Amino acid sequence: MARPNRRTRRKPMAEINVVPYIDVMLVLLVIFMITAPMLTQGVDVELPAGNAAPIEDTQSEVLVASITAEGKYFVDIGGEQESLSLDELKDKVSKVIAQNPSLPVLVRGDRSVTYGEVIGLMVALQGAGVPNVGLVTEPEAP
């Protein structure tokens, strides 16, 4: 009779079970698919198209002042959106700029808004102490 050797070595298994990794990946995929549409910021504005080079994003936080086709003003500061009158917008922006003077300010104006209304918004921002204002456009279709 052959005695079983207590010191027999097992061969190392060279396979990795990837099923748990696939399960985790699918759960993360579903989570990102659900949350991605919620992360879009801004008011629904139909932007004009322009062939301009994009501005390099040096800061992650930006103040965005928007005017809709109905003439409503919105301000977006770090993900918070509020509908305000032009005077309220000016006061709020002046407080934010007083705390952070280097904060970039962008204007989003709907395509159907008149030039005068956009200029009125830019004058209000200038009165709030904003030194430079950027205009947001959509890239032109090729």
Name the pLDDT band for 34 (thresholds 50, 70, 90).
Answer: confident
- CA distances to 29, 61, 132 from 45, rounded to whole Å, are 29, 20, 22
Is 113 in contact with 43 (CB distance < 8 Å)?
Answer: no
Q: pLDDT at position 130, please?
A: 85
Please state, as a whole number, how many other Cβ atoms lie within 10 Å of the Cβ of residue 90: 23
CATH assignment of 49-139, given 3.40.50.2300, 3.30.420.270, 3.30.930.10, 3.40.50.1970?
Answer: 3.30.420.270
Burial of 92 (0-12, 13-18, 19+ CB in 10 A): middle
Q: Taking each helix axis from N to C terminus, what angle separates 86-99 and 115-127, rounded to the nearest 10 degrees?
A: 40
Give pLDDT tens digits for 8-33. 777 777 788 888 899 999 999 999 88
| pLDDT for the residue 36 | 78
Tell me how far apart the alpha carbons of residues 1 and 11 are, in angstroms, rounded to a whole number. 25
Q: Which pLDDT belongs to residue 52? A: 60
